[in-house]
Amino acid sequence: MNHDPRTADADRLNWTQYRPGQQAGHYESFYQRGNHPTEPRAFWIRYTVFSPAGMPDAAIGELWAVHFDGTTGRHVVAKEEYPISECHFSRDSFGARIGDRVLEPGSLKGEATGTNGSIGWDLTYEGTEPPLLLLPPGLYQGGFPKAKSLVGVPSATYGGKLTVDGETIDVDGWTGSQNHNWGSRHTDHYAFGQVAGFDGHPDSFLEIVTATTRLVGPVKTPKITFLVLRHDDREYTLSSIRQGLKAKADFGYFYWDFASSDETTAVRGRFTAAPEDFVGLNYYNPPGGIKHCLNTKIGRCELEILNKATRTIQRLTTSNRALMEILTDDREHGIPIRA
């Protein structure tokens, strides 16, 4: 694959952006997610720093872990919070520590307990793909948008063990990604999706978001969609502001339809998941308030890639390996909040 040289600085972007003691509000998460090779099971582990605006002494570290089990229908959610003095988020390399729970290049180890259950992890991961920038490179500097994200290790392969409520689960050849997001406020309303390996196309990787965000006061942007797809040794980058505003997208709590294109290629697709595949989470917002995140890692995604010159279409599908999140202020979505 011929990689865009603009991603050369992405390794540094994958380091912590938070500055201890800063007055500006801030959230920042390093998260890992992996899917079982064939079954609807997945894990999501998240090391987060949260600092409310104007109150740097109230900053905390949040440790999240979720085990999704579509074979039994039982999803276990665990979350712990620590004073920022008991945490370390490295600004000059990749790494984080919350209490004694550690994230390092190629490995993560820890445990978390919540009202819903307990999860422990001792995992290694590796991947050879370069980092993936979802936003146009120029938007990683400056104040718009307020939230940034990248994939530090796309198409990562995981090994090791999970312990879910005392049961040991061998992780061998699970695939997923190492991810990093940060900002001074959460995006107002979004659908976010990722697929690390489609059925029959294990090396293909999709990262996509459709969002609206506040500009000034009550004024918000129209829906904008950024999409990056790596498939068949090519990268389809549909993430300019112009492309994002022209893209078509519609989403609700359990579906998301989208279509985007440039001069040579059109990509369209659909994410779906059943309500019982989701867990509900509280996300603290640095300016104040709490957003609801509806989160699954075992959804379905169908994708079509049209070559405009040859009029040929490639189709990609995953039946239970899609990440799908909806962030909302609505409280009538019907998904129980687990943490």
Return the sign of the alpha-carbon dihedral for residues 278, 259, 209, 36. positive
Q: Could you give the CA distance from residue 258 to residue 212 in angstroms, rounded to a whole number?
A: 15
> Where do the domains of the chain lie?
29-328
pLDDT > 80? residue 215: no
Q: Strand (E) positions, 84-188?
A: 87-89, 96-98, 101-104, 107-114, 117-126, 132-133, 147-164, 167-183
DSSP letters along 95-123, please? -EEETTEEEETTEEEEEEEETTEEEEEEE
Q: Could you give the CA distance from residue 273 to residue 300 in angstroms, rounded to a whole number?
A: 6
CA distances from 24 to 27, 181, 216, 293 (A): 10, 16, 17, 23
pLDDT > 60? residue 339: yes
Instruction: Tell me the pLDDT tens digit for each residue of 90-131.
Output: 999 999 999 999 999 999 999 999 999 999 999 999 999 999
Residue, of 217 and 123, whose pLDDT is higher: 123
How wide is the angle at C-alpha 203 spanned by C-alphas 274 and 225, nearest 5°? 55
Answer whether 0.85 is exceeded by the pTM. yes
User: pLDDT band at 218, cuts 50/70/90?
Assistant: confident
Least confident piece of the model among 24-28, 216-220, 301-305, 323-327:
216-220
User: pLDDT band at 219, cuts 50/70/90?
Assistant: confident
User: pLDDT at position 6, please?
Assistant: 45
User: pLDDT at position 170, please?
Assistant: 98
Instruction: Tell me the pLDDT tens digit for each residue of 127-174.
Output: 999 999 999 998 998 788 889 999 999 999 999 999 999 999 999 999
